[in-house]
């Protein structure tokens, strides 16, 4: 099953599934490393049903939520409404529907391991940052749970942190840091392939 079809199918259950995968501590860590301030504009890339967006709204930011799945964005609209602090845009990793230098922060939680080219996706996220803007990516460390590819449509089996740091640097970001979030992403196989438990990193950088 391709990614869009998979996420369109799971969209109505995503919030419940997410609770079993990881907690609010993941977005809180991303907000802390990014240094979010109320009144600013953030992009939530691969926004899904709005896990990161919800936390940003609670902190008084405006959000542009981008995802390839119309069903995921429909879930967000149901929860957050239209015409308020969230704008919803259908978009693809390598051609985000945003002007250059347009947002103060970019967040991407559990998105990078789904895209075709992680370095290209990171370059595109850097492109939309204003000078001084901050990027924070939360994603999985490298693992060997193959069922996450077959059952959850993952494209990459996590990442080596030095690769992610290099991709941020090559995208023109400075003050690049990678840290532990301090919790694991957990998922049980539906076909008897065991239970995955994978540590989560947060990668951050600033556009000069
Ligand atoms: C694992 S979900 C994470 C959703 C949300 N960020 C969260 O933390 O709950 C990954 C999301 O990325 C979106 N996605 C996957 N590949 C994408 C791509 N190439 N371009 C844009 N969005 C993509 C999916 O539709 C899905 O909503």
Q: What spacing in Å lies between the alpha carbon of 30 and ligand 1's midpoint?
A: 16
| Average pLDDT value for residue range 174-200 | 93
CB-ligand 1 contact for 72 (6 Å cutoff): yes
The 10s digit of each residue's pLDDT in 114-146 is 999 999 999 999 999 999 999 999 999 999 988
User: Which three-class secondary structure string do you get for the chain?
Assistant: CCHHHHHHHHHHHHHHHHHHHCCCHHHHHHHHHHCCCCCCEEEEECCCCCHHHHHHHHCCCEEEEEECCHHHHHHHHHHHCCCCCEEEEECECCECCCCCCCEEEEEEECCHHHCCCHHHHHHHHHHCEEEEEEEEEEEEECCCCCHHHHHHCCCCCCECHHHHHHHHHHCCCEEEEEEEEEEEEEEECCCCCCEEEEEEEEEEEECC
Neighbours of 32 (CB within 10 A): 13
Confidence at 55, pLDDT banded by 50, 70, 90: very high
- More confident site: 126 or 1: 126
Q: What spacing in Å lies between the alpha carbon of 94 and ligand 1's midpoint?
A: 13
The 10s digit of each residue's pLDDT in 25-54 is 999 999 999 999 999 999 999 999 999 999
Among protein residues, the one with the nearest Cα to ligand 1's atom 4 is 48
Confidence at 109, pLDDT banded by 50, 70, 90: very high
Q: What is the mean pLDDT of the chain?
A: 96
Q: What spacing in Å lies between the alpha carbon of 89 and ligand 1's midpoint?
A: 13
Q: What spacing in Å lies between the alpha carbon of 25 and ligand 1's midpoint?
A: 19
Counting from 1 in the atom list of ligand 1, the atom nearest the Cα of 155 is 16
Among protein residues, the one with the nearest Cα to ligand 1's atom 10 is 111
- pTM, two decimal places: 0.97
Has residue 2 got a pLDDT over 90? no
Q: Looking at residue 197, what is its pLDDT?
A: 92
Among protein residues, the one with the nearest Cα to ligand 1's atom 15 is 114
Q: Looking at residue 1, what is its pLDDT?
A: 63
């Amino acid at each position: 099953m391709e990614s869009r079809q998979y996420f369109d199918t799971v969209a109505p259950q995503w919030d419940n599934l997410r609770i079993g995968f990881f907690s609010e501590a993941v977005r809180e860590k991303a907000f802390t490393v990014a240094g979010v301030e109320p009144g600013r504009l953030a992009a939530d890339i691969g926004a899904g049903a709005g896990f990161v967006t919800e936390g940003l709204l609670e902190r008084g930011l405006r959000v542009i939520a981008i995802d390839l799945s119309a069903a995921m964005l429909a879930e967000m609209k149901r929860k957050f409404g239209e015409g308020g602090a969230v704008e919803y845009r259908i978009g693809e990793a390598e051609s985000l529907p945003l002007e250059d230098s347009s947002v103060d922060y970019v967040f991407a939680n559990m998105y990078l391991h789904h895209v075709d080219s992680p370095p290209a996706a990171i370059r595109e996220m850097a492109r939309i940052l204003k000078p001084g803007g901050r990027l924070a990516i939360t994603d999985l460390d490298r693992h060997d749970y193959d069922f996450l590819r077959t059952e959850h449509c993952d494209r990459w089996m996590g990442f080596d942190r030095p690769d992610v740091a290099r991709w941020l640097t090559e995208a023109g970001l400075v003050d690049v840091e990678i840290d532990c979030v301090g919790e694991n992403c957990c998922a049980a196989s539906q076909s008897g392939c065991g239970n995955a438990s994978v540590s989560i990193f947060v990668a951050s950088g600033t556009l000069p």
